[in-house]
Amino acid sequence: MRKLIAGNWKMNGSIAANDALVRAVIAGMAGADCSVAVCVPAPYLAQVQMLRHGSALELGAQDVSQHEQGAYTGEVSASMLKEFGARFAIVGHSERRQYHCESDAVVADKAKIALAHGITPIVCVGETLAEREAGRTEEVVKRQLAAVIHANGHCISEIAVAYEPVWAIGTGRTATPEQAQQVHSVLRAQLKAATGHSERIHILYGGSMNAANAASLLAQPDIDGGLIGGASLKAADFLQIIAAACVARA
């Protein structure tokens, strides 16, 4: 299976910075034996869609509305994302769960509407530090994923999942490969039970993945790629992670 490396730019970028970053990534990833995407702020979808034209770089959004259309000021619909070439949409990122009060049910609806429009939702799950220390990691990630499985039935085989321990996001504190693998194997078993077959769904790791630690994380049997925040904003770092994913291809 080809690994998937997805950049999550979060609320960063400018027309000039995006231009330089995307051109450098495309030049550096030529011939890469893994899938690469960048999930960009919605206003830049059109710019990056043009920049990526003719390359293997895929485009993604960082969120999607759970509604089809209508009076939802500030929201961006799945059909709009699709019109601008989005192949992926991150849903349920912990920053959205935390700062925008997104519940498991809302995240499940977002995944559903993305799938209905042919967009692969990258469903984020992950525990807080307090939950980990209370021994509740498995319970939390299974509950978050179960909501998405419940809402999406057999379509679940079309999603991607990102395990992002909240305590590792943007903190420089990464889960050890063993800690990440442990949770990934739990998620793999849950997905396998839900789909009823062994077809692999990408399970990405996210949380301070960088050029130095990517290889050991991506070498784990159930880590199928990465969702990269800070390190996706520097072409050299992002390209090193992409190179590690190509080497680690299972």
Catalytic residue annotation: 93, 164
Q: Choose between 18 and 226: whose C-beta lies nearer to ligand PGA.
A: 226
Q: Is residue 121 a contact residue for ligand PGA (CB under 6 A)?
A: no
Exactly one of 164, 222, 224, 237 binds ligand PGA (CB under 6 A); that residue is 164
**# of chain residues touching ligand PGA (CB under 6 A):** 13
Q: Is residue 209 a contact residue for ligand PGA (CB under 6 A)?
A: yes
Q: Is residue 227 a contact residue for ligand PGA (CB under 6 A)?
A: yes
Exactly one of 144, 208, 213, 220 binds ligand PGA (CB under 6 A); that residue is 208
Q: Choose between 61 and 194: whose C-beta lies nearer to ligand PGA.
A: 61
Exactly one of 224, 230, 237, 240 binds ligand PGA (CB under 6 A); that residue is 230
Query: HEC states along the chain?
Result: CCCEEEEECCCCCCHHHHHHHHHHHHHHCCCCCCEEEEEECHHHHHHHHHHHCCCCCEEEECCCCCCCCCCCCCCCCHHHHHHCCCCEEEECCHHHHHHCCCCHHHHHHHHHHHHHCCCEEEEEECCCHHHHHCCCHHHHHHHHHHHHHHHHHHHHHHCEEEECCHHHCCCCCCCCHHHHHHHHHHHHHHHHHHHCCCCCCCEEEECCCCCCCHHHHHCCCCCCEEEECHHHHCHHHHHHHHHHHHHCCC
Q: Is residue 207 a contact residue for ligand PGA (CB under 6 A)?
A: yes
Q: Which residues of this protein are in contact with ligand PGA, per CB under 6 A?
A: 8, 164, 169-170, 206-209, 227-231
